[in-house]
């Protein structure tokens, strides 16, 4: 019975289904001309390199063909969150789709593999690492492919230690699966990155479909600032701009700093960076992504790839990014709904040193690559084939670094690798010299890193239209001015007051003046007493009656009453403080009245709060 149901669910779509019909099944009323062209090319069996801005609808260019073609369409993405999100949305629309990656196990994994082997019209979502497993490759080989799509294809050109080696082997893997057509997708790519993608994936005379990286609804602005003035400017912008918004920082430390300060000023804020636990990152991301949630996300570049939130009203770069490619990718996450959005860069030339330090730690070092090649030559000279662990030990490198370097040697055709051994490609002669030549190529990449850092400064200080500068950088005609950016509108420089220290909010001022609604005891504004003043019996929340004064006793002077002061709430209490009181109550007076009024009753939420430590 289950087999019968499975057979029914894999029935191919009717032959008369058109791209427009398939688009409507996905909830797309009108395809863009670029989308129509890509869909026509890949369904005709042509390789395509698609370079379209973030939010342009690139995923439709492989989802629609999966409904039109007779065999499965394979999608490879480095982003598990994006795969999960797409899978859930496609299943909700009853689109034939399976997801298989390292998080899919047990019965769900077995059913997905069976469905792939059955073939027919189907979208298969996976990661580069999972594609290398025979467990997936065997059913794909049996069913055959109509199309292979590589999302975030610019990752192929990354050369750092965090580079995923499986990406460099995608081209060989797809050729082994005999994919009739390959679609490579990215949001931004210079001429150098385009060439790297075509070469690595082995694209055959590809059709290149590209559009301007700039969307006409984005208003770019550069605000020169440094030191404390940068934090003050960020606070003013976050308070004034419409939410939801994204604030990008270069380091985890800056994320924590900006996050704490923004929350202290009562703005609902989330954070995201690689130093957080996976569960905490997921919870923060889901809270920010909720529909109609008007909050701010402070994050490193780890946040954003594959994020589908169309109503982000601004992207603020607290620090300069490492390249214009990165800047355009991240700024493009604003205004995907077509409404106006702000893209603001707080520029300080000193940010360059941060990225130089980060790149020096993450880029493949040419001297390490040469050391690995020299160690390999020593192994091959004695006729032995080392494991990765043994090679890393002999080259005096860490396993992670050795794996990243070895992937580059594989990509360069110097070695081959099976499950346990590393073998020379050919007879292994001169491998150390060839590794030295490859190391020279990585030295060139380091020079290119420096050039990309230069372009950030050039963009920030350019006198003309910001959008035109970006178009020119990506090899397009600069064209007309956008009319929205700060230079097009000839906006005057921000006044000195914009960078001045922020005054307390009206809510905080109200608390100091003793105005505002009451707060239940134990929440919100903290209070403190002068240490030299004794604790008064009548100020203890009204729980005890004040004893009557004996004849002749005098009331204590007013100045001897305990002082109650409002203090700045710490970030842990900001959610409560955002709805805080507008007045601070004087505990002693309320305690006296409460004692006479309640005569032994228990404390109520409106009674005076206890002194700290009580």
Q: 10 φ, ψ to 5°?
A: -100, 15
- Judge whether 610 lies within some domain: no
Domain count, the chain: 4
- pLDDT category at 315 given cuts 50, 70, 90 is very high
- Judge whether 612 lies within some domain: no
Query: Do 239 and 274 reside in the same domain of the chain?
Result: yes
Average pLDDT over the chain, rounded to whole? Answer: 77
Domain boundary among 152, 178, 210: 210
| Domain of residue 513, residue span | 506-550+557-598
List pLDDT tens digits, range 145-179.
999 999 888 777 665 444 566 777 788 888 889 88
Query: Do 170 and 69 reside in the same domain of the chain?
Result: yes
- Judge whether 381 lies within some domain: yes
List pLDDT tens digits, range 37-89.
999 999 999 999 998 877 678 889 999 999 999 999 999 987 777 788 889 88
Query: Do 48 and 75 reside in the same domain of the chain?
Result: yes
- Judge whether 226 lies within some domain: yes
Q: What is the mean pLDDT of residues 558-570?
A: 41
Output 273-278 pairs: Cβ under 8 A, ≥24 positions apart. 273/299, 273/300, 273/302, 273/303, 274/300, 274/302
Domain boundary among 158, 183, 210: 210
CATH number (domain holding residue 422): 1.10.10.10
- Judge whether 611 lies within some domain: no
Structure tokens at 562: 């305990």
Strand 422-424 and strand 415-417: pairing? antiparallel
pLDDT value, residue 427: 58
pTM of the model as a whole: 0.62
Computed over its alpha carbons, how large is the radius of gyration of the chain? Answer: 31
CATH number (domain holding residue 230): 3.40.50.300
- Judge whether 454 lies within some domain: no
Query: Do 180 and 298 reside in the same domain of the chain?
Result: no
pLDDT value, residue 49: 94
Q: Which of 176, 182, 60, 69 is nearest to 120 (CA)?
A: 69
Structure tokens at 390: 């043994």
pLDDT value, residue 501: 65
- Judge whether 312 lies within some domain: yes
Residue with tokens 């629609």: 64
Query: Do 228 and 97 reside in the same domain of the chain?
Result: no
Query: Do 494 and 546 reside in the same domain of the chain?
Result: no
- Judge whether 475 lies within some domain: yes
Q: Is the pLDDT of residue 574 over 70?
A: no
Query: Do 405 and 471 reside in the same domain of the chain?
Result: no
Query: Do 436 and 580 reside in the same domain of the chain?
Result: no
Query: Do 53 and 177 reside in the same domain of the chain?
Result: yes
Query: Do 133 and 228 reside in the same domain of the chain?
Result: no
Residues 6+ apart with CB under 8 A from 561: 533, 536, 586, 588, 589
DSSP 181-249: -EEEEES---HHHHHHHHHHHT-SS-EEEE--S--TTEEEEEEE--THHHHHHHHHHHHHSPSSEEEE-
List pLDDT tens digits, range 481-534.
889 999 998 876 666 666 666 654 555 445 445 444 554 444 444 444 444 555
Query: Do 372 and 439 reside in the same domain of the chain?
Result: yes
Query: Do 161 and 299 reside in the same domain of the chain?
Result: no
């Amino acid at each position: 019975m289950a087999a019968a149901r499975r057979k029914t669910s894999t029935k191919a779509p009717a032959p008369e289904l058109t791209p427009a019909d398939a688009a409507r099944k996905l909830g797309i009323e009108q395809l863009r001309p670029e989308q129509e062209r890509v869909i026509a090319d890949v369904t005709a069996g042509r390789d395509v390199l698609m370079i379209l801005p973030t939010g342009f609808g690139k995923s439709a260019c492989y989802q629609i063909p999966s409904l039109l073609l007779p065999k499965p369409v394979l999608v490879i993405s480095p982003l598990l969150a994006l795969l999960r999100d797409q899978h859930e949305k496609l299943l909700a629309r009853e689109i034939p789709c399976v997801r298989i990656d390292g998080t899919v196990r047990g019965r769900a994994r077995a059913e997905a593999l069976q469905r792939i082997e059955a073939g027919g019209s189907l979208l298969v979502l996976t990661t580069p690492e999972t594609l290398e497993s025979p467990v997936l490759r065997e059913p794909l080989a049996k069913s055959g492919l109509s199309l292979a799509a590589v999302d975030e294809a610019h990752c192929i050109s990354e050369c750092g230690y965090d580079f995923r080696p499986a990406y460099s082997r995608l081209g060989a893997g797809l050729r082994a699966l005999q994919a009739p057509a390959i679609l490579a997708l990215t949001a931004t790519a210079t001429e150098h990155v385009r060439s790297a993608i075509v070469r690595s994936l082995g694209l055959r005379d590809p059709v290149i479909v590209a559009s301007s990286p700039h969307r006409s609804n984005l208003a770019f602005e550069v605000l020169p600032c440094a030191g404390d003035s940068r934090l003050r400017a960020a606070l003013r912008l976050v308070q004034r701009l419409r939410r939801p918004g994204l604030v990008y920082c270069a380091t985890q430390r800056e994320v924590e700093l900006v996050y704490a300060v923004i929350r202290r000023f009562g703005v609902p804020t989330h954070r995201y960076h690689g130093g957080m636990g996976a569960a905490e990152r997921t919870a923060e991301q889901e809270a920010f992504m909720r529909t109609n949630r008007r909050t701010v996300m402070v994050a490193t570049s780890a946040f954003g790839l594959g994020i589908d939130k169309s109503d982000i009203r601004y992207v603020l770069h607290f620090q300069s990014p490492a390249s214009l490619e990165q800047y355009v990718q991240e700024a493009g996450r604003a205004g995907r709904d077509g409404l106006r959005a702000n893209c603001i860069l707080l520029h300080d030339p000193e940010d360059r040193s941060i990225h130089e330090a980060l790149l020096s730690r993450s880029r493949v070092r040419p001297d390490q690559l040469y050391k690995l090649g020299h160690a390999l030559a020593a192994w091959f000279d004695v006729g032995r084939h080392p494991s990765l662990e043994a090679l890393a030990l002999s080259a005096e490198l860490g396993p992670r670094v050795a794996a990243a370097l070895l992937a580059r040697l594989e990509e360069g055709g110097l070695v081959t690798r099976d499950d346990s051994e590393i073998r020379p490609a050919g007879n292994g002669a001169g491998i150390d010299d060839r590794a030295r030549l490859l190391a020279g190529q990585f030295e060139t990449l380091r020079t290119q890193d420096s050039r990309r850092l230069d372009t950030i400064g050039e963009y920030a200080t350019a006198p003309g239209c910001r959008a035109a500068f970006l178009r020119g950088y990506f090899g397009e005609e600069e064209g007309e001015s956008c009319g929205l950016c700060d230079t097009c509108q000839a906006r005057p420089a921000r006044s000195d007051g914009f960078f001045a220290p922020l005054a307390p909010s009206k809510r905080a001022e109200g608390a100091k003046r003793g105005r505002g609604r009451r707060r239940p005891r134990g929440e919100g504004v903290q209070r403190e007493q002068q240490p030299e003043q004794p604790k008064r019996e009548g100020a203890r929340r009204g729980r005890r009656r004040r004893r009557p004064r004996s004849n002749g006793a005098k009331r204590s002077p007013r100045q001897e009453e305990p002082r109650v002061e409002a203090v700045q709430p710490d970030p842990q209490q900001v959610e409560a403080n955002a709805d805080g009181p507008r007045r601070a109550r004087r505990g002693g007076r309320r305690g006296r009245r409460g004692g006479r009024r309640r005569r032994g009753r228990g404390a109520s939420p409106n009674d005076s709060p206890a002194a700290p430590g009580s």
